[in-house]
Structure 1
Amino acid sequence: MDALVFWHWWVLGFGLLIAEILLPGTFCLWLGLAAFVTGAAAWLIPSLHWQVEVVLFAVLSFAAVGLWFRFRPADREQVEHGLNQRGRGYLGQVFVLVEPITEGVGKARVEDGVWRVQGPDLPVGAKVKVVGIEGTTLRVVAA
């Protein structure tokens, strides 16, 4: 290997960003940014030896990933995205049963659909209030 040119690092950076898009996670993003910064350094200082560029890339990669671990949310479960959690929006709302709740299970009309509900035994047409969610089942009480 004679020399690395700045655009080699930029191609690597673009490749890592594409990998970030195609693969789940956020790891390649930081390595891609480190490659871009290394390429910029190689462009600004053309006399850098390739060994120095590789060490610079390694140091920047470790620093970027370390900073990501330092500043990301510690508990990813606390991050509220709202995606695939439509039931949470129904907490506190009142709906009408379309199937009686017998042995703790029934169905209620929710907007334009029907949801499975759990709660005390109630007849068809009874109003229920949503007090919790367990997966795709709404926990209800008589309203």
Structure 2
Amino acid sequence: MTEMFTTLGTWNWLIFGIILMALELLAPGVFLFWLGLAALLVGLLSFAFHPSWQTQILMFAVFAAAAVPLWRRIARNNAAASANNPFLNKRADALVGRVFTLERPIVDGRGTVRIDDTVWRISGPDAPAGSRIRIVRADGASLTVALV
């Protein structure tokens, strides 16, 4: 067993790091990525100076342990960024309260309205083309409107 550790070299760490990162693709969870990054760092540092196998394992342990707080900090920053945009992935909800002009009339309570580059299905009171409407509710890809 000690013979295996004594033969640890730069290429072993680089290959180990690449294998761990490849395994991350098969079992996503962002856990193996950080271990792979720690192994790659040990491999790259081993190019600069040739530490003993004990030092290499110690460096790997330190880098892997340092990756956890680093990951938590990155995840916290991403959560704060998505909190700044509450309508991310909720495009229809972002339309509630906005006012638009109908290009086509609402007939029998159903119609469509063009908003930016998308045509949305709408339901509401019958109205001729050119009427001003306000989005009052979003339900999936369908919007409920009221006359302004």
- Using the size of structure 1 for normalisation, the TM-score is 0.64
Amino acid at match of 2:66: A
* In structure 2, C-alpha distance between the alignment counterparts of 1:38 and 1:62, rounded to whole Å: 13
Count of residues in Structure 1 that have an aligned counterpart in Structure 2: 138
Q: How does 1:1-143 map to 2 (within 5 A)?
A: 1=4, 2-20=6-24, 24-49=28-53, 51-73=54-76, 75=79, 77-78=82-83, 80=85, 84-87=89-92, 90=95, 92-96=98-102, 98-100=105-107, 102=109, 106-110=110-114, 114-117=119-122, 120-123=124-127, 125=129, 126-131=131-136, 133-143=138-148
Say if 1:83 and 1:15 are closer, same or farther in 2 by CA, change over 3 A: farther
Identity between Structure 1 and Structure 2 (%): 28
Q: Is there any run of 5+ residues in structure 2 with no aligned partner, and where?
A: none
* In structure 1, C-alpha distance between the alignment counterparts of 2:25 and 2:88, rounded to whole Å: 19
Q: Is there any run of 5+ residues in structure 1 with no aligned partner, and where?
A: none
- Aligned-residue Cα RMSD (Å) equals 3.7
SS in structure 1 at match of 2:76: coil
Q: Which has the higher helix share?
A: 2
Q: Is the 8 A contact 1:87 1:133 kept in 2?
A: yes
Amino acid at match of 1:64: A
Q: Which has the higher strand share?
A: 1
